[in-house]
Amino acid sequence: MLESSSSTYQRVAATIDDFMMVDYTGVGLIRNLHAALQQRQPGPVCMGAAEIIVSKVRQGGGPVLIATGFPEGGGAPETDGPVGAAMLARALFLGLRTESVIVIDEDWEEMMIATARGAGLCPMPFPESGKIEPIEYLRPVYIRTVPKDDAACHRVSDELLDRTQPSLMISIERPGENAKGLYHGLGGRPLDGLVADLDYLFRQGRSQGIPFIGIGDGGNELGMGVVADALPSFSPKAADTGIPGRGGVAAVNAADWLVISNVSNWGATGVIASLAALLENPTVFHEPELEIRSIEACVASGGVDGMFMAPEPAVDGIPATEWEGLLRALRSSMLRTLGHSVNWQGDSGDWRQLK
């Protein structure tokens, strides 16, 4: 493994975080979010998450739970979140040989299965026992759906924690409840009835000592409570949606470790890049074409882009063709920082350590 005391570690960690802070979408929040996070959680953001993942998974235990799914108009799930969840599950399996359980609302199951297949995974039926066992010759991922009804969602959440015994929990682009227990879009749009209460799952998991990594890009996502007190100073609807009695959009539940980025899927990519570097295993970081396939599969099975509000092959308004370039740039930059040769096609040569 790459030593955290090495200058190479510091350079690659900084390179990855620098990519996370570029305001590709033009929303204008990312630098303020990063500054607020550094005051409360100093140090490399993505590499810090990767270190937690490696440490907890190698301690043994159950699979990694990954919760995702954010409803847009009419309740269709956006592409930001599910694609990142699928790519993370792939990286966890290839890098650490651990299975993932992706937790998502039951009406989005078809979309999540297709997205995972697009990412090169084999979605498997969630076992009735809740116990996840290794499968020979497959790259499995498990989809566990939850109802939107609170009582039923809480029951499924309790069973999931009790039977599956996860080693780690990750949320990516998942709505987070505000101080009044309500869910909103970043612009203040109420999400009542559109999303299951997975804050409950993560609160219960934390109470059992299960580490929680959150990934978000706006401040209204599960886990972003780490920076909730800072959000009103730069996020217009953080303290007040403008709708009487609803409070603001700022999520109150805090992750044990928070990853912020301009787009949540991009944050997942930053963690994947960090895992590849930390484990000195370049296959952990997927080729861009694989993620584009996952985006297209997501859209073909019910996903929508969060900016276009339509089934466009894009993430937060960034078209798939542009997304491919971003992925290739980050992957190549990470490899070069580690001393790995990259040719004009983006292919890498022999992995070598510079410590």
27 C-beta neighbours (distance < 10 Å), count = 15
> Can you tell me the distance from the alpha carbon of 11 to that of 17, in angstroms, rounded to the nearest whole number?
10
3-class state of residue 13 by DSSP: helix
132 C-beta neighbours (distance < 10 Å), count = 22
- Find tokens 């078209």 and name the residue: 319
Mean confidence (pLDDT) of the chain: 94
> Can you tell me the distance from the alpha carbon of 113 to that of 136, in angstroms, rounded to the nearest whole number?
20
- Residue 243 pLDDT greater than 90, yes or no: yes
Q: How confident is the model at residue 73 (pLDDT cuts 50, 70, 90)?
A: confident
The number of distinct structural domains making up the chain is 1
Q: Which of 317, 63, 64 is nearest to 172 (CA)?
A: 64
Q: Is residue 167 assigned to a domain? A: yes
Angle at 9 between CA 353 and CA 288, to 5 degrees: 80
> Can you tell me the distance from the alpha carbon of 12 to that of 280, in angstroms, rounded to the nearest whole number?
12
The tens digit of pLDDT for each residue in 177-197 reads: 999 999 999 999 999 999 999
Q: Is residue 111 assigned to a domain? A: yes
Q: Is residue 38 assigned to a domain? A: yes
Q: Is residue 260 assigned to a domain? A: yes
Q: How confident is the model at residue 352 (pLDDT cuts 50, 70, 90)?
A: very low
Q: Is residue 46 assigned to a domain? A: yes
Would you give the DSSP letter of residue 78? B
Q: Is residue 342 assigned to a domain? A: no
Residue 293 belongs to domain with CATH number: 3.90.1640.20
Range of the domain at 305: 7-337
Q: Is residue 109 assigned to a domain? A: yes
- Residue 9 pLDDT greater than 70, yes or no: yes
- Residue 354 pLDDT greater than 80, yes or no: no
Q: Is residue 292 assigned to a domain? A: yes
pTM, full prediction: 0.95
355 C-beta neighbours (distance < 10 Å), count = 11
